[in-house]
Amino acid sequence: MNFPKNRLALFGMTVLAGCSGLQFTGITDMSATGPGTEVVVAPPWARPGECYNRITAPALIETITRNILVRPPRYDRDGTLKQPAAWRTETSQTILRERQSGWIRIPCRKDMVEDFTASLQRALRVRGLYRGPINGAYDTRTQRAVRRFQQKALGLDSTILSLDAARKLGLVAYDRATLTAQSEGN
């Protein structure tokens, strides 16, 4: 029998779950990305009806490569190179920032209007961040534009559209509790 790899993996997990008594809940198709991708898992402090996605920023590592002179070149009296220099390459790495992970609140499907991604593309185009077609596809160009917007507006380096970014773009309405908290300075 010829199974695609992802089906074979799912089959294997199902068999293991049956044997060990484990239950797999909240398995999501990771290929289904986009601004409205539902995330089943949420942080412990999440309120009902809020949608979150876990984001991870990799560690920032600096690699320094140095060439170290092991033996200088040797020349004859007339200046002819007799033996070239010998070098050793030495590489070192330094962690500038540890790996970071956290939660971002994202728009829930119920908050999305029809053609949400096309509206997102238009909002990003008006701001000069998106130059692709308005096709409603959450493709690489759209993701890059979302990242640029969120980096500028929120300091968030992610291609996953956050709820704050969606609100700043005018795609999702602010709820009363958020507006009240902001007006009171909380």
Do residues 62 and 94 touch, judged by C-beta distance below 8 A?
yes
- Cβ partners under 8 Å of residue 75, min gap 6: 81, 82
Residue 183 has a pLDDT of: 66
Runs of H (alpha helix) within the chain: 5-20, 116-126, 140-154, 163-168, 176-183
- Cβ partners under 8 Å of residue 90, min gap 6: 65, 66, 67, 68
Torsion of CA 78, 84, 90, 96, to 10 degrees: 60
Assign 8 a pLDDT band (cuts: 50, 70, 90).
very low
Model confidence, pTM? 0.58
pLDDT digits (tens, 9 = 90+) for 71-89: 999 999 999 999 999 999 9
Residue 26 has a pLDDT of: 31
Assign 186 a pLDDT band (cuts: 50, 70, 90).
low
Most confident stretch, 16-20, 96-100, 124-128: 124-128
Q: Is the pLDDT of residue 5 over 60?
A: no
Mean pLDDT for the stretch of residues 129-149: 95
Q: Is the pLDDT of residue 180 over 70?
A: no
Residue 28 has a pLDDT of: 34
Phi-psi region of 79 (alpha: psi -120 to 50; beta: other; left: phi over 0): left
Residue spans per domain, the chain: 11-58+99-183, 60-97
Q: φ, ψ for residue 94 (rounded to 5)?
A: -130, 130
